[in-house]
């Protein structure tokens, strides 16, 4: 998929929003969601570019589970091996392609082996193995992470990365083996925010 001037570009679907009600039983989310989705081709776009989905917005209910992408992904900002922008739950999923963000002028270049930009996202038992590069010409923030490019701490529940890892080489910018950078206000004390049991 090649759309160098487009937003929400994905190897399978550009924009995914599941509007199912967020119902909970004894504190656990019901097992609705997207399962066994995959894409193998390379993807190029401008903003919100992912090997599987360009943007995945579903912060309080369904999961993306047992899914993967293997192609190289490149774009301007919010570029991820699996998902460009994620506001939702991801489990038992992976990406193996290289990821490159060259920046959106005067704004940012965020690249992650699994997710480019993440907010209110639960990532469980997932991994990325591709090399990650982020650069920008002129002013703008640069984040490159082996798993997540930028993790924003928003006042939303269930922001957590657990039992996940990244093994690719991270180049340039505010680089991190697992997370390129974290920003925003910390959630209230009754929410979950953390990074546990991870390798890089």
Q: What is the pLDDT of residues 28-87, one digit of tens each?
A: 344 556 788 899 999 999 999 999 999 998 755 567 889 999 999 999 999 999 999 998
Is the pLDDT confidence value at 126 over 80? yes
Under 8 Å between Cβ of 53 and 12: yes
Mean pLDDT of 153-157: 56
Percent of the chain past pLDDT 90, that is, above it, reads 50
- Going from the C-alpha of 124 to that of each of 16, 88, 89, 159, 162, the distances in angstroms are 19, 12, 8, 11, 5
Q: Diameter of the chain by CA atoms?
A: 50
- Going from the C-alpha of 20 to that of each of 15, 34, 93, 131, 164, the distances in angstroms are 16, 12, 21, 35, 27
Query: Which of 69, 152, 68 is closest to 110 using CA atoms?
Result: 152
**pLDDT band per the 50, 70, 90 thresholds, residue 2:** confident
Q: Which residue has the higher pLDDT, 90 or 122?
A: 90
Is the pLDDT confidence value at 196 over 80? no
| Residue 152: both structure tokens together | 């924003």
Q: How far apart are CA 110 and CA 114, in angstroms?
A: 12
- Going from the C-alpha of 68 to that of each of 22, 34, 64, 117, 148, the distances in angstroms are 24, 12, 10, 17, 15
Q: How far apart are CA 64 and CA 32, in angstroms?
A: 9
Question: What pLDDT does 18 receive?
Answer: 62
Q: Which residue has the higher pLDDT, 186 or 92?
A: 92
Is the pLDDT confidence value at 167 over 90? yes
Q: How far apart are CA 197 and CA 194, in angstroms?
A: 10
Q: How far apart are CA 119 and CA 158, in angstroms?
A: 10
In the block, residue with structure tokens 């001037």: 5
Residue 61: count of CB within 10 angstroms of its CB: 18
142 contacts: CB under 8 Å, gap ≥ 6: 103, 108, 109, 110, 134, 135, 136, 172, 173, 174
Is the pLDDT confidence value at 14 over 70? yes
Whole-prediction pTM: 0.86
Query: Which of 22, 131, 151, 35 is closest to 86 using CA atoms?
Result: 151
Residue 26: count of CB within 10 angstroms of its CB: 4
Question: What pLDDT does 181 receive?
Answer: 86
**pLDDT band per the 50, 70, 90 thresholds, residue 139:** confident
């Amino acid at each position: 998929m090649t759309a160098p001037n487009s937003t929400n570009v994905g190897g399978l679907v550009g924009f995914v929003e599941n509007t199912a009600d967020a119902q909970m039983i004894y504190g656990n989310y019901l097992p609705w969601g997207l399962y066994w989705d995959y894409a193998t081709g390379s993807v190029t776009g401008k903003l919100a570019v992912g090997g599987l989905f360009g943007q995945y917005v579903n912060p309080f209910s369904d999961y993306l589970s047992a899914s993967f992408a293997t192609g190289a992904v490149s774009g301007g900002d919010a570029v991820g091996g699996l998902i460009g922008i994620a506001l939702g739950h991801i489990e038992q999923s992976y990406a193996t392609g290289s990821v490159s963000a060259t920046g959106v002028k005067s704004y940012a270049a965020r690249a992650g082996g699994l997710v480019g930009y993440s907010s209110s996202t639960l990532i469980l038992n997932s991994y990325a193995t591709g090399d990650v590069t982020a650069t920008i010409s002129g002013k703008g923030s640069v984040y490159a992470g082996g798993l997540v490019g930028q993790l924003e701490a928003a006042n939303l529940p269930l922001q957590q990365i657990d039992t996940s890892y990244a093994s690719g080489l991270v180049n340039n910018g505010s680089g991190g083996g697992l997370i390129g950078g974290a920003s925003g206000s910390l959630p209230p004390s009754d929410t979950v925010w953390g990074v546990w049991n991870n390798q890089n």
